[in-house]
């Protein structure tokens, strides 16, 4: 699970720092759904990242993982204006929703013992 977490984190980070995802969204998603699609990607992405991190590193590290996920989201939003994207503090809030959902899913689905 740790390898899957790091692979997804690196891939998502690179995608969030390039202009192509916006161009792809513009071609595939109707304009009236752009906002909702973007926010859904934030929530789903950070949910999956949080589940993978907790599965790989154990639920005893929940606070550290949640803090790291939110710091990652904030850092991405700070960097985006420098690479031709729009950074938005509200996106960090949607990332936070994903972190909470990921924690909730992990709480009910993962064993309660720490990862080795």
> Is position 23 within any domain?
yes
Confirm whether pTM is higher than 0.85. yes
Both tokens assigned to 62:
């929940």
> Is position 87 within any domain?
yes
> Is position 115 within any domain?
no
pLDDT for res 114: 55
Q: pLDDT tens track of the chain, all 116 residues?
A: 899 999 999 999 998 998 777 777 788 889 899 899 989 999 999 999 999 999 999 878 899 999 999 999 999 999 999 998 889 999 999 999 999 999 999 999 877 655 55
pLDDT for res 112: 65
> Is 51 within 8 Å of 106 (Cβ atoms)?
yes
Q: Spell out the residues 6+ positions from residue 114 whose beta carbon is closer than 8 angstroms to its own.
A: 58, 59, 60, 61
**Strand locations in 3-116, DSSP E?**
none
C-alpha closest to that of 109 among 27, 46, 36, 50: 50
Domain count for the chain: 1
The rounded Cα 4 to chain-centroid distance in angstroms is 14
pLDDT for res 4: 96
pLDDT for res 39: 94
> Is 19 within 8 Å of 83 (Cβ atoms)?
yes
d(C-alpha 5, C-alpha 9), whole Å: 6
pLDDT for res 83: 92
Q: 33 is in which domain, residue-wise?
A: 2-109
Q: Spell out the residues 6+ positions from residue 106 whose beta carbon is closer than 8 angstroms to its own.
A: 50, 51, 54, 55, 59
> Is position 104 within any domain?
yes
> Is position 48 within any domain?
yes
């Amino acid at each position: 699970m740790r390898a899957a977490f790091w692979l997804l984190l690196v891939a998502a980070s690179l995608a969030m720092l390039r202009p192509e995802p916006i161009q792809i969204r513009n071609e595939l998603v109707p304009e009236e759904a752009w906002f909702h699609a973007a926010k859904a990607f934030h929530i789903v992405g950070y949910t999956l990242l949080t589940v993978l991190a907790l599965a790989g590193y154990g639920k005893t590290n929940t606070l550290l993982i949640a803090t790291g996920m939110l710091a990652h989201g904030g850092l991405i939003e700070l960097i985006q204006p420098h690479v031709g994207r729009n950074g938005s503090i509200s996106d960090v809030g949607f990332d936070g929703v994903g972190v909470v959902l990921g924690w909730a899913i992990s709480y009910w689905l993962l064993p309660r013992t720490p990862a080795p």
